Structure 1
Amino acid sequence: MKDYKEVSLRLVAMPSDTNPAGNIFGGWIMSQIDLAGSVAAKEVANGRVVTIAVDKMTFKKPVFVGDIVSFYAKIINVGTTSIQVSVEVVAERCTPKLYGVCTDVTSAVLTYVNVDENGNKIPISEENKKRAGF
């Protein structure tokens, strides 16, 4: 798992997700990044995780309505209670001239914490860390 990056989420960008300029709203992309990262983090935590930090995010290219947006997640570090996940975002263009062309959109590193049902930090089991390659 440590050296493995996988598609955590794939979505079609829809008109309801646009900003006033007609491109997909950056906040929508940020929300999906958080979801994609949490999917990967939950596999290591084997339970509930909460987001505690998001590293710098720079949007390199816009996402357009109809693009297929893929979110690739990779676990990069596992601590006592925390999990760091790198998420890369790629848009596959679906316009007639650019159909099938993929472009890097953005990336971020997110930190999640393993918590119990009351929201208190709990340790990640050594077994789960080993399974993830840490």
Structure 2
Amino acid sequence: MKKFTRAEIEALINTVGTEDDGTLGASIDLAGADLSHVDLSGLNLSRANLDDARLCHTLLRECNLQGVSLVGADLSGAICTDANMRGGWLRWMTCQGTDFTGVDFSFALLTSTDLSTATFGNNNFRGTELSGLTLPPGGVAGIS
């Protein structure tokens, strides 16, 4: 599992896509990467492949993760506040103590994940496929 720094991720983003067509950072393949304890706040990782990545205690505040694939990723302790995860593939994740406050999950596939210790609030679940989830005690607003 390769360990990455923020500088290495920024360099990858700058080699993929263009600002002109809005695809800067799109389609980066970081499957299985170790991004734990890295501050990735505000980066454009739209449509990135983060399957099986290790994102423990990673800062993902205000990240553009639209269309991201996080299948099997470990987000334990990650801070994802106000991130955009619209249309993402969010399955079989580990989310112990993950902060999803303000995350936009609209039209995502959010399934087969234990969210019992995750934090939510002010989320958008419009059009999201939700199944096989273990929710925190008291549930999550927007998920019935």
TM bucket, shorter chain: under 0.3
> Greater CA radius of gyration, 1 or 2?
1
Normalized per residue, the structure richer in strand is: 1
TM-score between the two structures when normalised by the length of structure 2: 0.22
| RCO higher in structure (CA 8 A, sep ≥6) | 1
Normalized per residue, the structure richer in helix is: 1
